[in-house]
Structure 1
Amino acid sequence: MFNFKMTKLRIIVRFCRNYASQSYFHNPGKEPLRALTMGQLLEQTAKKYPDRPALISRHQNQVLTFQQVLEQADVLAAAFNLIGLQSQDKVGIWAPNIVEWYITHMACARGGIVLVHLNPAYQSNEIKNLINSVGIKGIVCAHKFKTQNYYQHLLDICPELSKSPPGGLTSPNAPSLKSIVVVSEEDLQGAFKYKELMAMPKKSDVISIKESQHLIDPDQVCHMQLTSGTTGTPKAPMLSHFHLVNNSYYIGKGNELDKKHHKICVQVPFFHVFGTTITIGAALNHGATLVVSSLSFNSYKSLEALKDEKCTVVHGTPTMYVDLIKAQREKREDLNVNIAVCGGAPCSPQLFKQMMQYLGVQKVKSVYGLSETIAVVFQSRANEDEILATSTVGHLMEHLEAKVVDTQGLMVPTGTPGELLIRGYATTLGYWQNEMKTKELIDPSKWLHTGDQFILMDNGYGQIVGRIKDVIIRGGENIYPKEIEDHLNTHPDILESQVVGIPHERLGEEVCAVLRIQANISLTLQNLDVHCRGKIAHFNIPSRMEIVDSFPKTASGKVQKLYCLNQQVHHANTFSAAITDSRFRIVNFF
């Protein structure tokens, strides 16, 4: 009997050890989630900090307090109602970082309207597809930006606009679209002027918006973050008020916005989840001030804003920080940055150190997530050591579960690469009218499949290895580009690196390093080999190298990786142009 009990005990102990060693972590959280809408959150913050600046738009020379934002949002929400845009209708916002983008976002929240984020770089065919895919009823847009003429794009899609009264558009090319609002001083046929729209509501109309907030359910769809709509049906993750309020609260807390009043230099676009949730939402939760230096990212304008406005926090992608550091090395401005938040793509430890060295930041915060996880599921914690800050994407956020699985869906041992899965409040409601893709994304057990190669540690921290599709298979060896990029970035002459796989007849693929380097520097493949030999595995050492002036980027500032689809290797002067070459395919990096 004794032996039987001991055997049984050994089995239990062995089982527990095996289970404990698996890549699974649950962070139950210390604070309860809140059943609030974004509109109610705005009202709470305006009551708490009525005279505190919510938004400083330097390029528009405008400053709005939280109370002014609330007032303008209610006026615009009332105006939307007057032109036929009601609760749960879909309104697209198509513009760069302007005050009107911010107010439209808040107005839709106050009116229960679904805000559809439209990339300001989209062209006519993309916008037409997106309008029809989700049934956009109204669009608020800039008039012109860079080479874009948004009104002309809409006129190309709907020629009937030239003869339509404002709010009365009827077009077979976009049957759902009725109202267009343009931020412009010009009279544009068929469109409302933004300023004129703001003058339409009566006091009673605005009061009606204020008194109807309780009718908006926190579980209602608040935002749609659209993927590209060039061909086929775009994926449109649906994000609720509940998602946005809570995820942005914990983001702000993790980035220490709750400790004191911070001014945040905004380098990221509003339309991306980095801009909407990590930046706007977190600032709204904790009363932080947003400082927008330019319509789109400009490293020198950012540097001026950091200096002039005495910003204590800065947000950006790794590429943005590379350019900001370059500008600071030239200008050597006196900065007062406490915290740099980095997301959108993996950031190398070397870049983290340079951010501290040249920008003078005291802490660098990593954030990791997807549009489908609202924004962030892993992020840096307060008071973590430099190793965790520079080598991980942070700790699993509160009220979430994470696990890492192999190709068979089985959990891998702790510290082993596999696909990251997330479960909890921060997973999207699903893709709009796309049940098949939703089922691929979220399995029957409610685990969301990120598609990212990830290492989960037993302390709840995680490391990105790369996208599953990014893995290079060279002669049977699985090679993870992120590991190589982190080492290449330690070379003093390399500004930024991207590692890609190119076809090889015998090995299947070989490793190619595509580099941005310091000006007036000559770097050879032999130099690269010396830098890598004995420091990383021999099969990880690049066998090809290309030098480029810049990497192609998405409008949100993320680098687009290029993969060669044939045997030919392109030289540096053709690499950047390869974005239009059918021999390459473009894959968004995160």
Structure 2
Amino acid sequence: MLAPSSIRLLESCKNICYRWRSTVAHLKYKTDLPLQSKTIGQLLEECAEKFSDRAAIIAREQRRQLTFPELLDEADRFAAGLRAIGLNYGDKVGIWAPNLIEWLIANVACTRTGLPVVALNPALQSREVEYCINKINVKCIICPAESKHYSFKSVLNQLLPDLEHADKWKLECSSLPSLEKVILISEDSLRGAFTYNDVMNMPDAQSVKSIRDYQKKVDIHSVMNIQFTSGTTGFPKAIPRTHFQTVNNSYFVGKRMMLNEKHHIFCWQVPNFHAFGLIVGTAGWHNGSTIVYPSIHYSPEKSLESINKERCTTLLGTPTMYVDLIREQSTRNEDISPDFALTGGAIASPQLVKDMQSVLNVKTVQSLYGLTESLAAFFSLPGESPSEVYTTVGHIVEHTEAKVVDSNKKTVDFGVPGELCLKGAAILDGYLGDDKKNEESFDEEGWFYTGDQFVMFENGYGNIVGRIKDMIIRGGENIYPKEIEDFLRSHPNILEVHVVGIPHKRLGEEVCACIETKDGSTISTEEVKIFCDKKLAYFKIPTMVRTMKDFPKTTSGKIQKYKLVEQVVREMNNNIV
């Protein structure tokens, strides 16, 4: 049963949306709840005072655990160390690492001393890291020396050939003119790099104390985090997030998650560099939630073990991660019953939601729709009906305005697909160093064009139809892959499916379903056609089927459909006699 506060939230969310005309897909969530004027550092300080006995982070693979006051103390010590090695307000610090506890400590340290954190994907190679550093003038890089099968040290040596002999106090490299410091999360030492412990042990008690006094000098509208888009095609774009945007968007997400109702323990499957983790992790700081890192690198086996051993109440993950977790639980049948599972980062099918409830024994599944550019724009409400859970990505978030437009930028009616456009407190102000992209993505009224095909309803809920660029045009018919994917996932033997358009001389594009089966067997085109017959319009039924063992994806779990197309086309060409 919902608590009275959650019932009030549900009722208010469904009644406070303002619409411009009764039929036009244009809504704004107007709320009496004010926006908060505080930094991330101040938020964590309040959390440490209020929840002083709670674990902030449990890093199972590292066998480390910190309470909120301990996290704050370690972060302030590291922050003072960063200042001691010459980093000053506004200097950009790249954290390039998997889910280590040091990632979290360094991140908090930077927010506490006015250093924007550049969240770098730990799978990046030298060319990509060089691009990111130079794109926004990163001054310091923090990374491990080695991790799993990846050598950060080797990549650093490619970027900085003189690192073994350089002066760690002032690196000089003509190809990386802004980079002056490297900090290794390692016991290994290099002449040209500080170790994490060097920085942690450098400050005295007075300089650590000064970090608390410094909080008033950190501007709430200053950049606290810079994230790069996943880069599924071409070089990624740099997206700045301010303290103000992050604190407020995460606050309303926390309310939707009902984090104030009890002590929540998060099973943290998502990578730290991803916007999903940024918002939900910060939401937990409003209410003293505990984060559990199941593993340094994503592992569904260790995630399932952590859910059981730590009695996690809330699961975080992309749809792909839940597919993996469901497969693992189907074999092991662990004694788990989480209160919530939050899915985001990609589209979850109705069948996947049902499997999460039945196989993972999750009481409530919540959806989050947002982009790195928008943070959370639509989010589930407490007490949603099954149809709202299965068929939408949630309800418009507080202090957010949304509309859906056609190809001529005219607002469509509710229930009609078009491109989703957003405004609001959490929407980015603009990409860094990319005037051309800003011109493409924003109009003269400040609307951000998401590139997502979206349907919005009068009740404030919405749903993704797909990416505009993913839309298949077959013989003049517009086909949205998500509709076909959702239907095919209801097949009893299909575990995961992604639909793409393959070039066709006559029709322009043909529909191809790339399928992973539950038992590893193959599935024929004819079987798929029979399953779809009289359930989908003839032009939507796949005429090509490929059985897959794995899908190309980014490390944040997003499927790279362009690579699927390349793979299928390559196979077709190889089969031509």
Provide TM-score, normalisation by structure 2: 0.94
Query: Which among 262, 265, 268 is matched to residue 267 of structure 2?
Result: 265
| Paired residue secondary structure (2:545) | strand
Q: Is the 8 A contact 1:133 1:234 kept in 2?
A: no
Aligned position for 2:89: 87
For residue 125 of structure 1, what is the amino acid of its counterpart?
R
Aligned position for 1:226: 228
- CA change 1:323–1:77 in 2 (3 A) is same
Could you tell me which runs of 5 or more consecutive residues in structure 2 were left unpaired when the two chains were aligned: 1-17
For residue 225 of structure 2, what is the amino acid of its counterpart?
H
Q: How does 1:175-186 map to 2 (within 5 A)?
A: 175-186=177-188
Q: Is the 8 A contact 1:243 1:425 kept in 2?
A: yes
Aligned position for 1:298: 299
- CA change 1:564–1:154 in 2 (3 A) is closer
Q: Determine the C-alpha separation between the residues in 2 that align with 1:246 and 1:572.
A: 50
For residue 506 of structure 1, what is the amino acid of its counterpart?
R
Q: Determine the C-alpha separation between the residues in 2 that align with 1:429 and 1:261.
A: 34
Q: Determine the C-alpha separation between the residues in 2 that align with 1:231 and 1:256.
A: 37
Aligned position for 2:166: 164
Aligned position for 2:368: 367
Aligned position for 2:126: 124
Aligned position for 2:359: 358
Q: Determine the C-alpha separation between the residues in 1 that align with 2:490 and 2:529.
A: 13
Q: Is the 8 A contact 1:49 1:287 kept in 2?
A: yes
- CA change 1:532–1:40 in 2 (3 A) is same
Q: Determine the C-alpha separation between the residues in 1 that align with 2:292 and 2:574.
A: 38
| Paired residue secondary structure (1:20) | coil
Shift of 1:336: 2.5
For residue 175 of structure 1, what is the amino acid of its counterpart?
P
| Paired residue secondary structure (1:340) | strand
Say whether residues 1:239 and 2:241 are aligned partners.
yes
Using the TM superposition, name which of 269-278 and 87-96 deviates more.
Answer: 269-278
Could you tell me which runs of 5 or more consecutive residues in structure 1 were left unpaired when the two chains were aligned: 1-15, 576-590
Aligned position for 2:4: none
Q: Is the 8 A contact 1:472 1:480 kept in 2?
A: yes
Cα distance per residue 1:151-195 (max 9 Å; x no partner): 221121111222112222111111111111111111222111101
- CA change 1:514–1:361 in 2 (3 A) is same
Say whether residues 1:248 and 2:267 are aligned partners.
no
- CA change 1:418–1:311 in 2 (3 A) is same
Using the TM superposition, name which of 460-469 and 150-159 deviates more.
Answer: 150-159
Say whether residues 1:534 and 2:541 are aligned partners.
no
For residue 301 of structure 2, what is the amino acid of its counterpart?
Y
Shift of 1:231: 9.8
- CA change 1:106–1:329 in 2 (3 A) is same
Q: Is the 8 A contact 1:317 1:342 kept in 2?
A: yes
Aligned position for 2:322: 321
- CA change 1:566–1:114 in 2 (3 A) is closer
For residue 194 of structure 1, what is the amino acid of its counterpart?
Y
For residue 319 of structure 1, what is the amino acid of its counterpart?
T
Q: Determine the C-alpha separation between the residues in 1 that align with 2:229 and 2:116.
A: 16
Q: Is the 8 A contact 2:552 2:564 kept in 1?
A: no
Shift of 1:232: 7.7
Aligned position for 2:137: 135
Q: How does 1:65-104 map to 2 (within 5 A)?
A: 65-104=67-106
Aligned position for 1:503: 503
Shift of 1:275: 1.5
Q: How does 1:17-96 map to 2 (within 5 A)?
A: 19-96=21-98
Q: Is the 8 A contact 2:342 2:366 kept in 1?
A: yes
| Paired residue secondary structure (1:138) | strand
Provide TM-score, normalisation by structure 1: 0.92
- CA change 1:54–1:17 in 2 (3 A) is closer
Q: Determine the C-alpha separation between the residues in 1 that align with 2:232 and 2:385.
A: 44
Q: Is the 8 A contact 1:502 1:509 kept in 2?
A: yes
Using the TM superposition, name which of 182-191 and 90-99 deviates more.
Answer: 182-191
Q: Determine the C-alpha separation between the residues in 2 that align with 1:486 and 1:73.
A: 44
For residue 64 of structure 1, what is the amino acid of its counterpart?
L
Q: How does 1:174-573 map to 2 (within 5 A)?
A: 174-227=176-229, 234-278=236-280, 280-373=281-374, 375-562=375-562, 569-571=569-571
Query: Which among 143, 146, 155 is matched to residue 144 of structure 1?
Result: 146
| Paired residue secondary structure (2:376) | coil
- CA change 1:412–1:204 in 2 (3 A) is same
| Paired residue secondary structure (2:164) | helix
Shift of 1:565: 6.9
Shift of 1:297: 1.4
Cα distance per residue 1:495-548 (max 9 Å; x no partner): 000000001111110100000002253421111111111111111110000001
Q: Is the 8 A contact 1:501 1:563 kept in 2?
A: no
- CA change 1:401–1:520 in 2 (3 A) is closer
For residue 254 of structure 1, what is the amino acid of its counterpart?
R
Aligned position for 2:13: none
Cα distance per residue 1:329-367 (max 9 Å; x no partner): 110000030100001111000010000001100100000
Cα distance per residue 1:66-92 (max 9 Å; x no partner): 001111111111101011111110000
Q: Determine the C-alpha separation between the residues in 2 that align with 1:562 and 1:309.
A: 39
Shift of 1:219: 0.3
- CA change 1:111–1:194 in 2 (3 A) is same
For residue 434 of structure 2, what is the amino acid of its counterpart?
N
For residue 124 of structure 2, what is the amino acid of its counterpart?
Y
Q: Determine the C-alpha separation between the residues in 2 that align with 1:66 and 1:477.
A: 55
| Paired residue secondary structure (2:21) | helix
Q: Determine the C-alpha separation between the residues in 2 that align with 1:447 and 1:53.
A: 41
Q: Determine the C-alpha separation between the residues in 1 that align with 2:20 and 2:395.
A: 23
Q: Determine the C-alpha separation between the residues in 1 that align with 2:378 and 2:134.
A: 34
For residue 253 of structure 1, what is the amino acid of its counterpart?
K
Q: Is the 8 A contact 2:163 2:190 kept in 1?
A: no
| Paired residue secondary structure (2:210) | helix
- CA change 1:18–1:395 in 2 (3 A) is closer
| Paired residue secondary structure (1:159) | coil
Q: Is the 8 A contact 2:356 2:362 kept in 1?
A: yes
Aligned position for 1:586: none
Q: Determine the C-alpha separation between the residues in 2 that align with 1:573 and 1:69.
A: 56
Q: Is the 8 A contact 2:182 2:193 kept in 1?
A: yes
- CA change 1:564–1:254 in 2 (3 A) is closer
Q: Is the 8 A contact 1:420 1:453 kept in 2?
A: yes
Q: Is the 8 A contact 2:253 2:376 kept in 1?
A: yes
- CA change 1:141–1:574 in 2 (3 A) is farther
Q: Determine the C-alpha separation between the residues in 2 that align with 1:43 and 1:519.
A: 50
Q: Determine the C-alpha separation between the residues in 1 that align with 2:109 and 2:209.
A: 14
| Paired residue secondary structure (1:161) | coil
Q: Is the 8 A contact 2:229 2:372 kept in 1?
A: no
Q: Is the 8 A contact 2:501 2:565 kept in 1?
A: no
- CA change 1:184–1:532 in 2 (3 A) is same
- CA change 1:568–1:106 in 2 (3 A) is closer
RMSD: 2.0
- CA change 1:566–1:340 in 2 (3 A) is closer
Q: Determine the C-alpha separation between the residues in 1 that align with 2:154 and 2:286.
A: 37
Cα distance per residue 1:252-271 (max 9 Å; x no partner): 21122121101000111000
Q: Determine the C-alpha separation between the residues in 2 that align with 1:569 and 1:190.
A: 47
Identity %: 45
- CA change 1:214–1:52 in 2 (3 A) is same
